[in-house]
Amino acid sequence: MSDTITAAVTDKTAPTPAARAAHDASTREASAIAMQGLHKRFGRDTVALAGVDLAIRAGEFFTLLGPSGCGKTTLLRILAGLEEADDGRLLIGGRDVTDVPPHRRSVNTVFQSYALFPHLSVRENLDFGLKMRGVAPAERKARVARIAEFIQLGDLVERRVDQLSGGQRQRIALARALVCEPDVLLLDEPLSALDAGLRSQLQVELLRVQKRLGMTFVFVTHDQDEAMVMSDRIAVLNGGLIQQVGPPREVYEHPVNAFVARFMGHDNLYPVTGRCGDRLTTPLGELTAEAAGSGALLLIRPETLDLLPGDGAGTNHLPARVVERLYRGSHAEYRLAVGESTLQATVNNRGRHLPEVGDRVTVTVAPEDLVTLSE
């Protein structure tokens, strides 16, 4: 692991395939996570986790996504050892750590509030974990210097924590966790306190760090855009249960139920009232779908829709009226009235005609772009 950071510092573009492979072989076993039937209850009535089974692969950037109160933070805290599960088992690298206290787990956390020690300088903050672990002073010094260079905060190390900006604190919190070279790094909404520009910059940076080190990252967020940008795989949680696990594209394009679809930002959900082969009866009208599954809800993604001026006839051609248009430069977002229903459409701005509010248009969608899902 130590070698990986050194290699990554000297070669800033990417680890050599050989180094990456060697590293993968040594940590693959040690950093995979298995959760089996985790339950957690707070007080008598609040169920935080209602039986979570989840396997996270070694070297994966894994995101726990969900609204507040869905159990994602509780799950992360159980991984860190800061919370004890009422029932179930947790294995890290094949070892049962269910009852291991946090200070004896090779897991480190980047906290939402950063939790940098105010009585220590940046250097002493970075050094804290190594010192507590009893690493020899010379090695500690070298590792702190290396991580400071890696995260590019060399000139900050002598500062006091209260002299730093939000973005700098975030970097130092990350460095303080990374320097311990844990098997698993946990990140609890680490970017949520930052403004939009800095946030997207640090998203990219975090992703590069993870790819370069090949460390297992478990990331918690309520922001589906952030989850999609960062993750190898996403687990969507609600009500203490996992709703869906999969790569971002799968979760976005093929949500398994209405909750996941809505949480990923989809509004175009319509009940399927009748079905005859590939023909679906919906409040929008009759639609032809290809391999759309047998769910009771139809999902139409706004970006799969095309708007044609005037009336038109053909497969999946629906007459509509423009109710609202939000011009966003690169694209425009439309709200359309189709019969009694509303339909959201996103149209890329290729310099062609963009229908105005009040215009009559025809909406079309390709049969293979339609998906159905369960309630």
Partner 1 sequence: MRKRTLKRGLTAFWWLTLAFLYLPLAVVVLFSFNASNSAANFTDVSLRWYYRLLGNEEILSAFANSMVLAIVSSVVALVVGCLIGYGMYRHRHRKLGWLIVLIYLPIVLPDIVFGISEMAFFVQVHRLTGFLQPGLSTMIIAHVTFQIPFVALIVYSRFVGLDPTLFEAAKDLYATPIKRVVHFMLPTIKPALISAFFLSFTLSVDDFVISFFTAGPESATLPIYIWGAIKKGVSPEINAIATLMIGAVAVAAIVSLMFSRRRQA
Between CA 280 and CA 287 the distance in angstroms is 5
Nearer Cβ to partner 1 (122/236): 122
Tokens of 20: 């990456």
Binding of partner 1 by 118 (CB under 8 A) = yes
Give 179 or 287: the residue with its C-beta nearer to partner 1: 179
Asked if 128 is part of the footprint of partner 1 (rule: CB under 8 A), the reply reads yes
Q: Is 140 in the site for partner 1 (CB under 8 A)?
A: no
Q: How far is the CB of 111 from partner 1 (least distance, A)?
A: 5
The nearest distance, CB 188 to partner 1, in angstroms, is 9
Structure tokens at 194: 């930052």
Q: CB of 84: closest distance to partner 1 in angstroms?
A: 13
Among 133, 262, 279, 321, binds partner 1 (CB under 8 A): 133
Cβ 351 to partner 1, closest distance in Å? 51
Judged by DSSP in three states, 282 sits in strand
Whose structure tokens read 């062609």? 352
Within residues 82-111, the interface with partner 1 by CB under 8 A covers 82, 101-104, 107-109, 111
Q: How far is the CB of 108 from partner 1 (least distance, A)?
A: 6
How far lies 275's CA from each of 292, 293, 339, 366, in Å?
Answer: 11, 11, 20, 18
Minimum CB–partner distance for residue 4 and partner 1 (Å)? 20
User: What is the rounded distance in angstroms from the CA atom of residue 310 to the CA atom of residue 291?
Assistant: 30
CA distance linking residue 118 with residue 107, whole number of Å = 22
Measure the CA–CA gap between 242 and 245, rounded to whole angstroms. Answer: 7
Identify the H or E element spanning 241: strand 241-246
Q: Residue 108 or 203: which CB sits closer to partner 1? A: 108
Q: Least Å distance between CB 215 and partner 1? A: 16
Q: Does 43 bind partner 1 (CB under 8 A)?
A: no
Residue 113, interface with partner 1 (CB under 8 A)? yes
Q: d(Cα 375, Cα 357) in Å, to the nearest integer?
A: 32
Segment interacting with partner 1, rule: CB under 8 A, options 75-83, 199-207, 291-299, 349-357: 75-83
Please tell me whether residue 191 adopts helix, strand or coil conformation: coil
- Distance between CA 356 and CA 359 in Å, rounded? 6
Q: Can residue 81 be called a binding residue for partner 1 (CB under 8 A)?
A: yes
Give Cβ neighbours of residue 158 (< 8 Å, ≥ 6 apart). Answer: 121, 122, 123
Stretch of residues binding partner 1 (CB under 8 A), selected from 19-27, 57-65, 78-86, 224-232: 78-86
Q: Total residues contacting partner 1 (rule CB under 8 A)?
A: 28
Closest CB to partner 1 among residues 84, 278: 84
Instruction: Decide: is 80 part of the binding site for partner 1 (CB under 8 A).
Output: yes
- The interface region with partner 1, picked from 18-26, 65-73, 113-121, 280-288 by CB under 8 A, is 113-121
Find the binding residues for partner 1 in span 290-319 (CB under 8 A).
none
Q: In this structure, what are the phi and psi dihedrals at residue 248, rounded to the nearest 5 degrees?
A: -50, -45
User: Residues near 63 by Cβ (< 8 Å), separated by ≥ 6?
Assistant: 218, 219, 220, 221, 227, 230, 231, 233, 234, 235
Residue of the chain from 143, 176, 222, 325 that contacts partner 1 (CB under 8 A): 176
Helix axes 17-27, 2-10, angle to 10 degrees: 160
Q: Which residues bind partner 1 (CB under 8 A)?
A: 80-82, 101-104, 107-109, 111-113, 115-120, 128-129, 131-133, 162, 176-177, 180
